[in-house]
Amino acid sequence: MADVLVVDLGTTGVRAVRVDASGALGRHHYVESPPAVPAPGMVEHDPWRIVADAEAAVAGAGAGAVAGVGITVQRATTVVWDASTGEPVGPAISWQDLRTLGECLTAVAAGLRMPPNASGTKCQVLVQAAREKGVAEADIRFGTLDTWLAWCWSGGTLHVTDPTNAGVTAMTDVTATGWDHDVLDVLGIPHTAMPRIVPTSSVAGRIRIGASEADLACLVGDQQASLVGQGGIEAGVAKATLGTAAMVDVNTGTTTPPVDVTATYPVVVASTPATSWYGREATVISAGDAVRGLVELGVASEAAAVSALASEVDDSGGVHYVPALLGLGTPYWDYGARGVLAGMSLGTDRRHLCRAVLEGVAWRVAECVDAVAADTGVTIDALRVDGGAAQSDVLCAAIADRAGIGVMRSTEREATAYGCGLLAGVAVGMWDIDTVAALPSVERTFEPAWDATRRAEAAVAWDAAVDASRGWIEGLSQLSF
């Protein structure tokens, strides 16, 4: 049987990967595609460059027939376009973008829960831009990047998304099987602008990439794809993807989750035409961003060198770093917090700084694990990890110590692409869903070296550093969504 092809639209690049009938990743190609940052708090993408970079990645992954195509994307990044011309009304607004904070507050005052990293108010401002440009109401279309790519590659015949992506727009109910028309009305978004929600693992229609045509067999958000790619189609499995941000997710099973929101938030893990799986998610807003910051400051030559330098010392020498470059996510949700480096002395050198940054990310991941466990009642006794930063032994060991659980590093570092490929394979009959749970494997497990007493003692200084990071932008810190 032919391979399935995965297109993975990340925050800073696009990857195309082929997955063969044995469930193994084959030829792949990566194209760097970073967002633009035109002003503080504004993060955006060129929609046409997204398409071009995706096509370049697919070409690099090799020609040849495929059984189906899966698309996995950075979630909540928002595009609005004119259906009559296919032209976007402006740049795609990234999930990281904070330009719609005012609209979020207005929505909250109207009784909606509308966090700034969701799609709702991003769609609202782009729809208004479409009206100002004279786009007919019936021709306005909204989509996250999966929807946009499917539209372009189907010649405008497919306007679709799936529950894993729809569920983080803040415009659906907790099952994410349909749009909430009351929310759309408050935001002033025409109902006809919204894509059809199809099961995550299902054939939505035909698409053409270059000269090749294939079934579109999977649409899935990147974090949920990563969970599936690490065996997380089973209830109780938890993972952390250590990328630009870091997301901790746990599968809570097939029962619809409660709608109450505390530190974490409900997500749809995946769906087929027969079954839906639900979960809970927690967010470290800045993870790989913090490592990349060391490179930009000249502390290390590249991201891999950060871990190498950190491994040369046994500890951070009393230095603590709080990775709050765009605020603190779970469990604080303080958008006005900013990164803090504390505890430096005359004996501090760049090795200590590198270790402090990795340990700071580890502390934040551990806080997310605790929050997810508290909100779900699920006992998390192991955490599966993937993503670029998961290649760091120092980081993985630090997470194990601070969370007090084993950390299992995935054999497949690109678990997002892998999970999407597995779900696409289910849709085209390459394997069944039970096989998907068994295919992922673990490269190495890091067991905690700290006992509970040491963790509690170390947490005192960490908590003090977090307190110092909070409230730097007072107006943002007072916001609650």
Q: What is the mean pLDDT of the chain?
A: 94
CB 280 within 8 A of CB 252: yes
- pLDDT at position 438: 84
pLDDT tens string 46-56? 999 999 999 99
Do 309 and 444 touch, CB atoms closer than 8 A? no
C-alpha of 398 from chain center: 22
Q: pLDDT tens, 204-255?
A: 999 999 888 999 999 999 999 999 999 999 999 999 999 888 999 999 999 9
Q: Give percent of the chain above pLDDT 90.
A: 84
Instruction: Note every long-range contact of 472-476, with CB atoms under 8 Å and residues 24 or more positions apart, other chains counting.
Output: 472/336, 472/337, 472/338, 473/335, 473/336, 473/338, 474/336, 475/336, 476/98, 476/101, 476/327, 476/334, 476/335, 476/336
Looking at residues 354-374, what average pLDDT do you find?
A: 97
Given a cut of 90, whether residue 22 has pLDDT beyond it is no
Q: Is the pLDDT of residue 364 over 90?
A: yes
Q: Using the predicted structure, report yes or no on whether residue 258 has a pLDDT greater than 80.
A: no
Identity of residue 22: S
CA distance 85 to 66: 30
Percentage of residues of the chain with pLDDT beyond 70: 99
Q: What is the pTM of this model?
A: 0.93
Residue type, 201: S
pLDDT at position 479 = 81
- Tell me the mean pLDDT in the region 187-191: 98
Mean pLDDT lowest for which of 188-197, 253-262, 325-334, 468-477? Answer: 253-262
For 441-457, what is the mean pLDDT?
96
Q: Judge whether 249 and 230 are in contact, CB under 8 Å.
A: no
Q: Are 75 and 245 in contact (CB under 8 A)?
A: no
The residue that leads in pLDDT, 440 or 355, is 355
Q: pLDDT value at position 481?
A: 77
163 pLDDT above the threshold of 70: yes
Closest CA to 190 of 199, 200, 181: 181
Q: Identity (one letter) of the amino acid at 100?
A: T
Query: Per-residue pLDDT for 341 more than 80?
Result: yes
Q: In which residue ranges of the chain is CATH 3.30.420.40 found?
A: 3-221, 231-411+450-481
pLDDT for residue 257 is more than 80: no
- Distance between CA atoms of residues 110 and 113, nearest Å: 9
CATH of region 231-411+450-481:
3.30.420.40
* CATH entry 3.40.50.1950 includes domain 3-221: no
